[in-house]
Amino acid sequence: MMVFNPVSLYGVYLGWQQYEAIFNACYTTGLVWLPFIGLTFEFMHSVAAPQGSTHHAADHAIKHYKMKFLAMVTACLLFVNPSMYLSVKGLSYKPRCAQSNVTESTVGDTGTTYDEVFADLTLSNIKVPLGFIIAQQLASGWTYGLMKGTACQESLDTILKDSAGYKLPRDLADEAREFNSQCFREAKGRFSQEKPAPSTYKKTMDEYGGEDDLNWMGSHTLRTLYYSSMQSKKPIPGFDYPSNPMANIDEARSKKEIDDEQLPEFGYPTCEKWWLSIRQKIVDIAQKTDRYDPHLGAASFHVRTQAFFNKFHLPYSKSLGADDFVAKAMLSYRDNPQTTHYSELVYTGSNNVQSAMASALVDVSQSIKSAVVNPVEREGLSQGLPVYQAMGYFLTALFAPLLLIAGGYRFSVCFALSAILFILTFLSYV
């Protein structure tokens, strides 16, 4: 079975893994028999209290019962019972415009940081209902055929989709959250309250995307006005104290109120210096894959972005460089003050399923809210699409057993779920 981005490998695998577990639980507790019990009660009721003419009521009830029973059994065999094995290597992904010698990515071997996030995942073959496997195979084959019929052309959209597997490590996510609270929010608040003269920032703002420049941590407007004069509120690892002192601590030291031994181990960098450090760390992650990465067969996220920026002129951002775009894309606008629990959303820890669900739900709500504001944020929505796809696969498979039981094993429910899987797959072409 083919998917079209690395994170969907995990979305599909985890979803059907949970499907099998929930189905087994329902089978053990007897919930899978509820639709048949309900059909039996319906039959008994139609015999005991027939509607309309009572002539041959029992015969009609028996025929109706047989037809529905046969339909339910067929639906169970095709769409409910997980009967077909799906091996770990049976799920694969290869970039659409990749070279012919590119290694196919599989669960646990995608060459992305999601392999590290799900390193504790126990990999084993899983069972999937035959009907849903056929639906996904048809969807992926049709979508792949349409995509291959379209000429490959480099764009920010394809770059972002191919690089969807990048994810910030926990320590960097925590550091970005601290910067968000200690520098970005304060600087943005000061900008709103102080209302500086437009002559002090208008030119910079226009060069870096207009008012949208104020909505992310690397804002050039805020860097120009405030970051150089602001310091972190806490000692930041990686910055030595002698080069990044705090005036209050130095004053207390000069008054002999504290000894040299009591000086903090780490320093208090300016917000400008701190941001440049965070941005460089993000860029380093984006450069993790090189031109000979066996999974991508292409240059790194940063190199491809830089090449695209050098070739094309972006009308919505005259001066935005590759470093800024990479940082902005990988942060995915999670620096929005409305987004809480930043580190949990960026990094999925021990509870991968719950954390990933929380991350995707917040991403969806925030992206829908800002999708039509400007082209920059629409690029952010495009970058988040692979995550939404993966979560769509996961949630569809997760709730499928309960929906099938609640729907009485009707073919309409089976086809509706198959249509959802088909649409999720087809989004890769759109």
Q: Is the pLDDT of residue 288 over 60?
A: yes
The separation between CA 428 and the C-alpha centre of its own chain, rounded to angstroms, equals 14
Average per-residue pLDDT for the chain = 78
In the prediction, which pLDDT does 296 show? Answer: 59
Q: Which of 409, 378, 414, 412 is nearest to 396 (CA)?
A: 414
Tokens coding 428 = 């890769």
Q: Which residues of 338-352 are buried (b: 16+ CB within 10 A; e: fewer)?
A: ebeebbbbbbbeeeb
Phi, psi (deg, nearest 5) at residue 351: -95, 85
> Is 50 exceeded by the pLDDT of residue 266?
yes
Confidence (pLDDT) at 241: 86
pLDDT digits (tens, 9 = 90+) for 14-24: 999 999 999 99
Whether this prediction's pTM lies above 0.75 is answered by: no
Judged against a pLDDT cut of 60, whether residue 292 lies above it is answered with no
Place of tokens 């709730």: 399
Residue with tokens 């394809």: 158
The pLDDT of residue 72 is 95
Give the list of residues 6+ apart from residue 327 with CB closer than 8 angstroms, or none. 218, 278, 279, 282, 283
pLDDT in tens, 231-249: 998 899 989 888 888 888 8
Residue 343 reports pLDDT greater than 60: no
Asked whether residue 91 carries a pLDDT value surpassing 80, the answer given is yes
Whole-angstrom Cα distance, residue 243 to residue 340? 32
Q: Which of 237, 233, 238, 261 is nearest to 248 (CA)?
A: 233
Spans of all domains in the chain = 6-164+385-426, 170-303+313-352
Structure tokens at 337: 């003050």
